[in-house]
Structure 1
Amino acid sequence: MSLKHQIIDGFDPNGVSTYESLFGLPFDENTAEMIIIPVPWEVTVSYSPGTADGPDAVLNASMQVDLFQDDIKDAWKMGIYMLPIPDDLANKSSNFRILARNYIDWLEKGSPEAELERFAAVPDLINKAAAEMNEWVYEQAKLYRGQGKMVALLGGDHSTPLGLIKAVADDHDNFGILQIDAHADLRVAYENFEYSHASIAYNALKFPQISKLVQVGIRDYCEAEAIMAKENNRITTFYDKDIKKDSYEGKAWKIICDEIVEQLPQEVYVTIDIDGFDPKLCPNTGTPVAGGFELDQIMYLVREVVKSGRRLIGFDLVEVAPGPEGDEWDGNVGARILYRMANLYGASQGRLNLK
């Protein structure tokens, strides 16, 4: 009997877990089929901080998630393991966040020339630090993907998945990105930060392997982003207002999902910014926006992607931020999204059976 089977036989998914691990699962990086990379990073956040604590918040709340999935038998047996949260990256994020915050304050004051010498070098320093973070993520993703693991990422802000997307692009010649988000994230070096959280979609499109970016739920964007989304034939955007209008006029969510899925190529990477959901599900996220989706709507959409025969090749969940001390709501919602996405990823890869 293999070590993994011994672990499975000795674990009661209906009982109280004694494992201080993601979802209380008994697996490690060797026995789990899926690896979650935690990235506690939020250097360029331009509104409310807190997303660097997202991985820890999700980890702490994940013990409350029941492992049973009624449409995926024995889903937990696949094995999910989150790598240790890197303290050095968290500390680096905190230090550079102070530098970036002071620089953003200076920009918002009109960039007074009297302080130009103090702030002129900041963008380069931030860009270098962010590039190093991206390279760390890329190396982790390459390592575990090279071992045959499925790999996902838990942020941190929305700048964090670029290294994972790069690793996916190394292995796939033609794939699409399904982006669930309140924001278009098509800004070009927003606030002079090349790897801004508001630039992830723009940066991802630099990879020629990405044949399509399908954005869903967008409701907060600038004119330049709207023009780019309209003029770039690799981008299809389903704006929140249009989705709502269609639903108010009687179009079923199933039909809307079919239209979204139709735009996607055979292989799909999913990036989920939690602010794409209704803010009642993520009140402490960095940049909440009124509108958005219920959790079940997006999980239904991703399930439809899998049921269509398309294959998930990676995903991330970003921008989860904990509330005041003792408030685990955002982490609780994030943990449930993470678990369901992990299982749908496994099902699309043929490692689990989806009814």
Structure 2
Amino acid sequence: MSIKYADRSFGFMGSGDDFSEAKIALLGIPMDFTVSFRPGSRMGPRQIRNVSVGLEEYSCYLDRDLAEIKYFDCGDLVLPFGNVELSLKIIEEAARDLFREGKFPIFMGGEHLVSYPLIKAAFEKYPDLALIHFDAHADLRLDYIGEKNSHATVMRRAAELLGGKNIYQFGIRSGDAAEIAYGKEHTHLFLDQLIVPLQEVIPKLGERPVYVTLDIDVVDPAYAPGTGTPEPGGCSAREIIQCIHMLGAAKVIGFDLVEVLPTHDLSERTALLAAKLIREAMLTFC
């Protein structure tokens, strides 16, 4: 394994021991330095792994089993606590390593800001990259309380990098007036909608490489209460699973799932949903 500064003391269910043979590489990113409401999502990757053993490795939706594919859990990056800039550099370097090694990367956050360096690494390899974004929040603020790098600005940074019309945002139901106006003009913003617009977008993407970022708060807090900024009125667990399956028709080259917060997930239903989505993503995309 080429990634430096990773703790491999635990792993996702069924993960193998050979990085070189693995098609898929999982990596945890335990960072929550810029969250605006509830901290603690840095513990999300570990909890997702912990509960994953309670799920079957077989997907009845896809009639496929994780035993059919080779995947390796790289563990969690070791990040300098509180140092946002250096952490983003470490995250980008790790993602770049995985893309360079030819792996299909699946990243577990952590707060949503961690997606920015992941998108940067993907864009470096795939200049015609399209970005699919599932979230309750637009995350299009120019800055948040003066900070340009925040989980509330991550899609604005991505729009500046990729060009806003290469970004497709689904399930959005929260944001201030300025960022919603920005999204309507500069990105493909689907307010409070997932299934129907996703069905329409996927054929248009053709063979373009697609990176998928999924904030668990796109799901209604009735199904996923363990998140840092819950927003009522979201989709069901069934609907977000359906979205992952639909994306099997696209050329997905990487995936992240962020903002699972174990301290507000006493039933573990949020982490369980996250683990199930990761299982379905592995079996759908690879």
TM-score under structure 1 normalisation? Answer: 0.72
What is the distance in 1 between the residues matched to 2:261 and 2:188? Answer: 28
CA contact (8 A) 1:36 1:154 kept: yes
Q: Name whichever structure is richer in helix by fraction.
A: 1
Give the equivalent residue in structure 2 for 1:78.
Answer: 69
1:57-76 equivalences under 5 Å are 57-70=47-60, 71-76=62-67
**Residue 303 (structure 1) shift:** 2.1
**Residue 26 (structure 1) shift:** 3.3
The verdict on how the C-alpha distance between 1:263 and 1:319 changes in structure 2, with shifts beyond 3 A counting, is farther
1:338 aligned to 2:278? yes
What is the distance in 1 between the residues matched to 2:265 and 2:237? Answer: 24
Q: 2:130 aligns with which of 165, 176, 191?
A: 176
1:329 aligned to 2:269? yes
* 56-65 or 69-78, larger mean C-alpha shift: 69-78
What is the distance in 2 between the residues matched to 1:285 and 1:131? Answer: 24
Q: 2:107 aligns with which of 153, 158, 176?
A: 153
CA contact (8 A) 1:274 1:319 kept: yes
What is the distance in 2 between the residues matched to 1:189 and 1:256? Answer: 28
SS of the counterpart of 1:323?
A: helix
**Residue 326 (structure 1) shift:** 6.3
Q: 1:201 aligns with which of 141, 145, 155?
A: 155
Structure 2 residue runs of 5 or longer lacking an equivalent are: 1-8
Letter in 2 for 1:258: Q
**Residue 205 (structure 1) shift:** 1.5
Give the equivalent residue in structure 2 for 1:116.
Answer: none
TM-score under structure 2 normalisation? Answer: 0.88
What is the distance in 1 between the residues matched to 2:133 and 2:63? Answer: 24
Runs of 4+ aligned residues of structure 1 deviating over 6 Å after TM superposition are none
1:259 aligned to 2:200? yes
| Cα offsets for 1:257-292 (capped at 9, x unmatched) | 422435546321110000000112221200000011
1:212 aligned to 2:166? yes
Fraction of identical pairs, as percent:
28
* 256-265 or 201-210, larger mean C-alpha shift: 256-265
| Cα offsets for 1:7-55 (capped at 9, x unmatched) | xxxxxxxxxxxx9521133334233211112111011111011211101
| Cα offsets for 1:168-209 (capped at 9, x unmatched) | 111112121111000000011212222100111011112247
**Residue 329 (structure 1) shift:** 2.5
Which of the two has higher C-alpha Rg? 1
Give the equivalent residue in structure 2 for 1:29.
Answer: 19
What is the distance in 2 between the residues matched to 1:209 and 1:76? Answer: 39
Q: Name whichever structure is richer in strand by fraction.
A: 2
1:153-302 equivalences under 5 Å are 153-208=107-162, 211-232=165-186, 235-240=187-192, 243=193, 253=195, 255-262=196-203, 264=205, 266-302=208-244
CA contact (8 A) 1:58 1:335 kept: yes
CA contact (8 A) 2:99 2:125 kept: no
| Cα offsets for 1:280-315 (capped at 9, x unmatched) | 2221200000011112212222322323xx200111
| Cα offsets for 1:199-257 (capped at 9, x unmatched) | 1101111224775111111111101111101221xx111111xx39xxxxxxxx5x444
The verdict on how the C-alpha distance between 1:280 and 1:48 changes in structure 2, with shifts beyond 3 A counting, is same
What is the distance in 1 between the residues matched to 2:209 and 2:181? Answer: 27
